[in-house]
Amino acid sequence: MQRQDFKKTDDMFNRVLGKDHIAVICLLENIHTGTRFIVANAHIHWDPLYVDVKVVQTALLLEELEKVANHFAKYPPPPPNTNGASIAKADSSDEASEGSSSDSGEGSRPAPAPQTYRPPPHYSDGTKIPMIVCGDFNSVPDSGVYDLVSTGHLPSNHPDFLSHIYGRYTSEGIRHRLGLKNAYAGLNPDELPLTNFTPSYQGFIDYIWFSTGNVGVNKVLGEIDKSYLEKIVGFPNAHFPSEYVFFLITA
């Protein structure tokens, strides 16, 4: 709310500020290689009458992810692990000595190659860091939220704004450079597994997004057996502790 364009609109105060919205962003770095990864998890407002709020909340999340990722890219790389390299060389020397002391070639073995220092990767900006964004977006695949995340752009006149005014979002549109893709995007709409199953609603409203420039999907978890769903009213129940169905990708 520090942005001047938000301060000039009543809709931000009356519609957005009072609605639930939470996100957690984890910055991960391998202490040995310096390879970095960003994982985020979010919950977007649930009410279908407030699709404009969902779009704004998602836009704020994406903006924050870009800022955090760009800042993370500027972190200095970890220093080389010189102690580990010394130990590795010492171990190699010891094993080589043991092998050469054998009377016959039967018990000897070649010394392992000494470990060499490999410089950590360089990230010119945040989009170069692999990213996975998970969350309950409470939005179907034909929504403005889905269009924004998957295409990187939402026009200022998108119908999901419901003619409300949200600063630059509704005067210039929304853009992001994260290059995200839905992990289940390759499936036909009829093949999408349910992520929400209640007596009043069943549908696909939760997503795992990944950065296509540096992450790929190998496998995805299939849907729940339909014969089982025909026997129950909805979730949660004794077998599924939440109204949301867990789904998984391997990248």
Residues of the chain with pLDDT under 50: 84-104
How far is the C-alpha of 154 from the C-alpha of 102, rounded, in Å? 71
**What is the radius of gyration, based on Cα positions, of the chain?**
25
Q: Residue 104's pLDDT is what?
A: 47
Q: In 3D, which of 82, 85, 104 has the Cα closest to residue 93?
A: 85
Residues in the chain: 251
* CB 41, CB 134: distance < 8 Å: yes
Q: Which two tokens stand for residue 195?
A: 């992520």
How far is the C-alpha of 118 from the C-alpha of 223, rounded, in Å? 42
pTM comes to 0.80
Is the link from the previous residue into 236 a cis peptide, with omega within 30 of 0?
yes
What is the per-residue DSSP string for 87-135?
HHHHHHHHHHHHHHT-SSTTS--PPPPPP---PPP--SSGGGS-EEEEE
How far is the C-alpha of 53 from the C-alpha of 226, rounded, in Å? 33
Strand segments (E) across the chain: 22-29, 36-43, 131-136, 153-154, 174-175, 180-182, 196-197, 202-203, 206-211, 219-220, 249-250
Q: In 3D, which of 133, 126, 154 has the Cα closest to residue 42?
A: 133
Q: Residue 73's pLDDT is what?
A: 97
Task: Quote the Cα angle for 201-162-205, to 5°.
Answer: 30
Q: Residue 233's pLDDT is what?
A: 85
* CB 168, CB 5: distance < 8 Å: yes
Q: Which two tokens stand for residue 130?
A: 């692999």
Residue-range domains of the chain with CATH: 4-78+118-250 (3.60.10.10)
**Residue 74 Cα distances to 18, 67, 174, angstroms:** 35, 11, 25
**Residue 227 Cα distances to 224, 231, 242, angstroms:** 9, 7, 19
